[in-house]
Amino acid sequence: MFRDTRGLVFDLDGTLVDSRANIVRHLNDALAERGLPTHATADIAKWVGEGARHLVTRAVPASGRIDEVFDAFRGR
């Protein structure tokens, strides 16, 4: 059945693994290292589910810094 399959993709967060704490920590670290305000776990949890770019866009108060924080967040 999977003989020709090269890989599988899982949407782990909230299904197989609760990675919310890691997402919160890495996002807040990326923000704090750039002198930007951090956010509460409950707020970040509301932003999860529409992709990393959306998450960072919601978290960054200055639109001119989204790429910078996004790159740092993804590099963790």
Q: 17 in helix, strand or coil?
A: strand
What's residue 37's pLDDT? Answer: 97
CA distance 74 to 52: 8
Report which of residues 17 and 57 the model is more confident about. Answer: 57
Residues acting as catalytic residues: 11
Q: Is the pLDDT of residue 48 over 80?
A: yes
Question: Which whole-number Å values give the CA distances from 20 to 44, 59, 71, in the listed order?
Answer: 9, 15, 19
- The model scores a pTM over 0.95: no
For residue 30, give the nearest of 73, 74, 76, 75 by alpha carbon. Answer: 73
Question: Stretch 42-62: mean pLDDT, rounded?
Answer: 94
Question: Stretch 42-67: mean pLDDT, rounded?
Answer: 94
CB 30 within 8 A of CB 73: yes
Please give the backbone phi and psi of residue 17, each rounded to the nearest 5 degrees, phi first: -140, 135
Question: Stretch 41-61: mean pLDDT, rounded?
Answer: 94
